């Protein structure tokens, strides 16, 4: 009769396997860091700048909840039981600031967000590569110009007295238009100049997404007899949807930020009723009038609204599409 001998088990316990895997991963991580130490050292520079200029100043946000005194300092100033927020919500400027800010930002978003997408599609359809590169380079240049410079230029161009645009209108028999002195024309000027400055730079990421599209899709569309417009509508645009969705979510946070640099360098007392926004109000009360605590409270409220917009936009994108930030 055969005798069965039980051999000792050679299986490793699950805990030992996990420990071995962790040790292997740690060794690989250390090896990777040592091998790419120069890149990690370079990464420390922007990380330090981010910490110094973005996170460390967040400590000062607490003055929004205090009656700030320079002698007592941020930590020594007394708490005020949200008095700055209560006062701001009760001022007549509160609703006006909300309306002006959202009107300008919504107009910029409605016309400014699709513009780089359309511009990228147009550039992609140009067959002359040299001409396309020249147009791209020219369209990027306004992004690198400060609104201080552009503000001075546009004040001359859009002037109703000595501006070339009004001169052309008068030559054609019309009345001169004071673009930056009439409320309705001011809003029009803000949107147009914003698009002109940002369209080239904003199209870069959309052009990058277009170049990553599989050329085989266009070949298949050619076989099916699709023309250029049909290929744009049924191949290029659907392939850009992930990038468009992400950029849409990121741009939603700007719905409560109409753009301080542009407005500050273009507006005047004649258009205060439509041009006074959160950023200009914070500048006046916080820096000009030296009400640092009240200005910090208004700015904090604005930033909280921006965070809320991002959360809502990301939730909607995750619910109704396959793409979201998280």
What's the pTM value of the predicted model, to 2 decimals? 0.77
Rounded mean pLDDT, 73-94 = 87
Q: State residue 1's pLDDT score.
A: 46
Residue 286 belongs to some domain of the structure: yes
Residue 9 belongs to some domain of the structure: no
Contact 227, 240 (CB under 8 A): no
Residue 169 belongs to some domain of the structure: no
Residue 21 belongs to some domain of the structure: no
Q: Are residues 105 and 231 in the same domain?
A: yes
For residues 55 and 52, what is the distance between their CA atoms, to the nearest angstrom? 6
pLDDT in tens, 133-145: 898 889 989 999 9
Rounded mean pLDDT, 285-293 = 87
Tokens in use for 228? 């250029």
Residue 304 belongs to some domain of the structure: yes
Q: Are residues 77 and 219 in the same domain?
A: no
Q: State residue 325's pLDDT score.
A: 65
Q: Are residues 183 and 271 in the same domain?
A: yes
Q: Are residues 104 and 60 in the same domain?
A: no
In this predicted structure, the answer to whether residue 3 has a pLDDT above a threshold of 70 is no
Q: Are residues 57 and 193 in the same domain?
A: no
Q: State residue 194's pLDDT score.
A: 92
Using DSSP, state whether 79 is helix, strand or coil.
Answer: strand
Rounded mean pLDDT, 122-127 = 87
Q: Residue 147 — pLDDT band, cuts 50, 70, 90?
A: very high
Q: Are residues 225 and 275 in the same domain?
A: yes
For residues 326 and 311, what is the distance between their CA atoms, to the nearest angstrom? 10
Domain count, the chain: 2
Q: State residue 168's pLDDT score.
A: 87
Owning domain of residue 39: 34-81
Residue 162 belongs to some domain of the structure: no
pLDDT in tens, 231-267: 888 888 988 988 888 888 888 877 777 888 899 999 8
Which range is least confidently modeled, 183-192, 245-254, 275-284?
245-254
Q: Are residues 61 and 99 in the same domain?
A: no
Residues 6 or more apart in contact with residue 53 via CB below 8 angstroms: none
Q: Are residues 75 and 113 in the same domain?
A: no
In this predicted structure, the answer to whether residue 116 has a pLDDT above a threshold of 90 is yes
Q: State residue 195's pLDDT score.
A: 93
Q: State residue 175's pLDDT score.
A: 85
Q: Are residues 52 and 139 in the same domain?
A: no
Kindly give the residue spans of alpha helices, DSSP state H, lying in the chain.
14-35, 37-50, 73-76, 83-90, 93-112, 114-125, 129-140, 147-157, 164-171, 183-211, 215-223, 228-231, 237-252, 260-266, 272-275, 278-282, 292-320
pLDDT mean across residues, the chain? 85
Tokens in use for 247? 């950029």
Q: Residue 192 — pLDDT band, cuts 50, 70, 90?
A: very high
In this predicted structure, the answer to whether residue 16 has a pLDDT above a threshold of 70 is no
Residue 136 belongs to some domain of the structure: yes
Using DSSP, state whether 66 is helix, strand or coil.
Answer: strand
Residue 243 belongs to some domain of the structure: yes
Contact 158, 271 (CB under 8 A): no
Q: Are residues 108 and 137 in the same domain?
A: yes
In this predicted structure, the answer to whether residue 10 has a pLDDT above a threshold of 60 is no
pLDDT more than 70, % of the chain = 93
Rounded mean pLDDT, 66-72 = 85
Rounded mean pLDDT, 290-311 = 86
Q: Are residues 199 and 280 in the same domain?
A: yes
């Amino acid at each position: 009769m055969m005798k069965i001998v039980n051999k000792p088990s050679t299986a490793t316990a699950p805990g030992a396997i996990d420990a071995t895997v962790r040790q292997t991963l740690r060794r690989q991580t250390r090896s990777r860091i040592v091998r790419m130490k120069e890149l990690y050292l370079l990464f420390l520079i922007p990380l330090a700048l981010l910490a110094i200029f973005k996170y460390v100043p967040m400590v000062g946000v607490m003055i929004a909840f205090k009656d700030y005194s320079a002698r007592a300092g941020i930590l020594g100033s007394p708490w005020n039981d949200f008095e700055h927020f209560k006062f701001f919500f009760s001022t007549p400027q509160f609703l006006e600031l909300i309306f002006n800010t959202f009107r300008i930002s919504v107009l910029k978003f409605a016309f400014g967000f699709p513009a780089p997408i359309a511009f990228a599609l147009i550039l992609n359809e140009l067959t002359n590569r040299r001409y396309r590169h020249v147009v791209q380079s020219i369209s990027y240049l306004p992004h690198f110009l400060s609104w201080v410079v552009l503000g001075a230029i546009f004040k001359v161009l859009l002037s109703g007295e000595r501006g070339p645009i009004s001169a052309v209108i008068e030559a054609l028999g019309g009345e001169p238009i004071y673009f930056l002195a009439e409320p309705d024309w001011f809003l029009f000027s803000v949107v147009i100049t914003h698009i002109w400055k940002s369209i080239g730079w904003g199209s870069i990421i959309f052009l990058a997404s277009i170049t990553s599209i599989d050329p085989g899709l266009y070949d298949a569309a050619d076989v099916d007899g699709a023309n250029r417009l049909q290929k744009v509508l049924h191949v290029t645009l659907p392939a850009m949807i992930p990038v468009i969705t992400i950029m849409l979510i990121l741009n939603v946070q700007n719905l409560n930020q109409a753009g301080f640099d542009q407005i500050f360098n273009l507006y005047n007392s004649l258009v205060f009723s439509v041009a006074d926004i959160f950023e200009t109000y914070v500048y006046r009360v916080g820096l000009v009038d030296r009400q640092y605590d009240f200005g910090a409270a208004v700015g904090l409220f604005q930033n909280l609204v921006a965070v809320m917009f991002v959360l809502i936009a990301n939730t909607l994108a995750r619910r109704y599409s396959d793409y979201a930030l998280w």
